[in-house]
């Protein structure tokens, strides 16, 4: 039973709203403030670096655990499906009416760490470099997603991992359409960490 139910658990794990829980610590409803997303970037902006890092760790961990658990029972294809379910649970959260609630960047990174650590390291370094240079998390996310696509084609990976990398990167890019428009127009808000 657990072997089949693990996919349900992967989806529910992805839906754990760490940013929302962190917001209750400071009595801030992250769904109604900032971008309205229950992701790490909104948590950093609204709650400060300490809680922001906690949310980043939680979102990454749930992605890693979902992918690894499904891989354990079902192999590479299971890891692929489990990872996609975790990203879906985070990005369109069932506990918030399936509305768009996140962009899946931290969750996707956690999945990469679990299944493709070398690519995860490359993507993380590129993300940090872009954010430090531009002060735009959205730019780092977009470039990181594209780097994931390129790396998945250059590294010798099982087919499921290539498909997963392309699919998740596509979701991240799709969820950043509005950000891309604002970057082009020069209206995308910069990201600067302030202690709170």
**Cα atoms in the 13 Å half-sphere on the side-chain side of 65:** 16
Pull the structure tokens for residue 72: 């354990």
Q: pLDDT tens across 117-160, in order?
A: 999 999 999 999 999 999 888 888 899 999 999 999 999 988 88
Tell me the average pLDDT across 40-47. 90
Instruction: Please tell me the distance from the alpha carbon of residue 58 to that of residue 183, in angstroms, as a whole number.
Output: 28
Cα(44)–Cα(62) distance, integer angstroms: 18
∠ CA 37-179-88, rounded to 5°: 45
Residue pair 51/27 in contact by the 8 Å Cβ criterion: no
CA dihedral 56, 20, 17, 47 (to 10 degrees): 0
Per residue in 8-25, pLDDT (tens digit) is: 999 999 999 999 999 999
Cα separation, 70 vs 90, in Å, equals: 17
Average pLDDT of span 28-50:
90
């Amino acid at each position: 039973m657990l072997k089949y139910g693990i996919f349900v658990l992967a989806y529910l794990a992805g839906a754990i709203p760490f940013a929302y829980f962190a917001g209750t610590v400071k009595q801030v409803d992250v769904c109604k403030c900032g971008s309205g997303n229950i992701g790490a970037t909104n948590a950093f902006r609204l709650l400060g670096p300490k809680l922001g890092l906690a949310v980043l760790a939680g979102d990454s961990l749930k992605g890693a655990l979902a992918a690894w658990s499904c891989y354990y029972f079902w192999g590479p294809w299971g890891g692929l499906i489990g990872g996609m379910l975790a990203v879906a649970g985070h990005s369109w959260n069932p506990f918030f009416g399936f509305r768009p609630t996140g962009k899946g960047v931290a969750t996707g990174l956690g999945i990469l760490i679990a299944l493709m650590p070398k690519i995860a390291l490359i993507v993380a370094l590129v993300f940090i470099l872009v954010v430090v240079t531009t002060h735009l998390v959205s730019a780092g996310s977009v470039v990181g997603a594209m780097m994931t696509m390129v790396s998945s084609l250059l590294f010798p990976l099982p087919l499921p991992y290539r498909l997963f990398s392309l699919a998740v990167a596509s979701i991240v890019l799709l969820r950043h359409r509005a950000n891309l428009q604002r970057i082009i127009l020069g209206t995308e808000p910069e990201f600067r960490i302030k202690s709170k």
